[in-house]
């Protein structure tokens, strides 16, 4: 098998055309509905912090839509979405499912669109299983293969800040040393009774490529670290010097150092 030696990840669709109708996309380009509501709230009502008592003179741009921590992680890597509607029915610890088409035969894959792991694969070992969660982890089979370049791996996680609490992805990692990665997504479904529609285009997992590198670690404290005080003061100065903090300006400052 010819392998990738350069830093390029390849997503290969098992159903010709899915790469156009429902491609894997950059996480930064996917816009959740809550993000639009958040931005509109800032435009209409201004800073969240200014709505609190005794805070009117501080942090004039304080708002969720401006938080660099939230959007830096939300926008990391790629989002893979369901290419088809999926109807799911659960009763106790039994489930059934339907799709508008037999995607297994269409793709030539051995994987069903919905299957499951053994009931005892996780639940048996967990001491604090989420309440009202199906004890059998479901598995969403997607028509994608990932070809990962040498020296890289792909972390798969629940989409960060997704607006869908019905399920949680069981995180995992795809490694180039294990060959082609079949994109199956194990999930915990947080209900034991009911019927649901997972609509086509639902974000089902977030994929984050990681370079396989080692980093040195040092544990110290603020007294022994001779650069800490100066570094801390500079950080606070840049973050607090303006009523309208620009996180891009702060980033550019530190990038230039």
Q: Which pair of structure tokens corresponds to residue 71? A: 């959007």
pLDDT of residue 174: 96
Residue that wins the pLDDT comparison between 92 and 182? 182
Q: Which two tokens stand for residue 63?
A: 């708002």
**What pLDDT, on a 0 to 100 scale, did the predictor assign at position 53?**
63
Cβ atoms within 10 Å, residue 173: 13
- Would you say residue 56 has pLDDT above 60? no
CA distance 48 to 174: 40
The token pair that represents 96 in the structure block: 């059934």
pLDDT digits over 114-151, tens only? 999 877 788 889 899 999 999 999 999 999 999 999 99
- CA neighbor of 143 nearest in space, from 110, 179, 187: 110
What domains are there in the chain, each with its CATH number? 10-25+78-211 (2.70.40.10), 217-257 (no CATH)
pLDDT of residue 93: 83
Residue 241 contacts residue 179 (beta carbons within 8 Å):
no
- Give the closest residue to 83 by CA, choosing from 151, 165, 142: 142
- Residues 6+ positions from 137 with CB-CB distance below 8 Å: 116, 117, 121, 122, 170, 186, 187, 188
Among 45-49, 108-112, 180-184, 198-202, which range has the highest average pLDDT? 198-202
CA 16/CA 107 separation, integer angstroms = 8
pLDDT at 255 (0 to 100): 86
Whether 158 and 205 have beta carbons less than 8 Å apart is answered as yes
At 76 the pLDDT is 96
Q: What is the DSSP letter of 218?
A: -
Instruction: Return the percentage of the chain with pLDDT > 90, whole number.
Output: 61
Q: Which of 2, 3, 13, 24 is nearest to 149 (CA)?
A: 3
Inter-axis angle of helices 247-255 and 228-240, to 10 degrees?
150
**pTM score of the predicted model:** 0.87
């Amino acid at each position: 098998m010819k392998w990738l030696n350069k830093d390029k990840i390849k997503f290969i669709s098992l159903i010709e055309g899915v790469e156009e109708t429902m491609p894997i996309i950059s996480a930064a380009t996917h816009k959740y509905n809550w993000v639009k509501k958040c931005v509109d709230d800032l435009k209409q009502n201004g800073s969240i912090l200014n709505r609190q008592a005794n805070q009117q003179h501080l942090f004039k741009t304080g708002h969720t839509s401006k938080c660099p921590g939230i959007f830096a992680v939300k926008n990391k890597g790629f989002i893979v979405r369901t290419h088809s509607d999926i109807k799911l029915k659960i009763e106790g610890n039994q489930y059934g499912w339907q799709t508008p088409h037999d995607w297994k035969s269409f793709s030539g894959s051995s994987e069903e669109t919905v299957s499951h792991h053994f009931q005892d694969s996780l639940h048996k070992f967990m001491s604090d299983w989420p309440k009202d969660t199906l004890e059998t982890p479901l598995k969403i089979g997607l028509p994608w293969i990932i070809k990962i370049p040498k020296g890289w791996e792909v972390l798969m996680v629940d989409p960060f800040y997704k607006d869908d609490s019905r399920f949680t992805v069981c995180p995992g990692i795809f490694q180039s040393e294990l060959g082609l990665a079949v994109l199956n997504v194990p999930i915990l479904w947080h209900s034991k009774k009911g019927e649901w529609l997972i609509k086509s285009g639902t974000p089902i997992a977030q994929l984050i490529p990681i370079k396989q590198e080692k980093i040195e670690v040092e544990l110290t404290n603020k007294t022994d670290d001779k650069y800490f005080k100066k570094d801390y003061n500079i950080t606070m100065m840049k973050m607090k010097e303006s009523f309208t903090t620009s996180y891009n300006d702060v980033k550019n400052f530190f990038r230039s150092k």
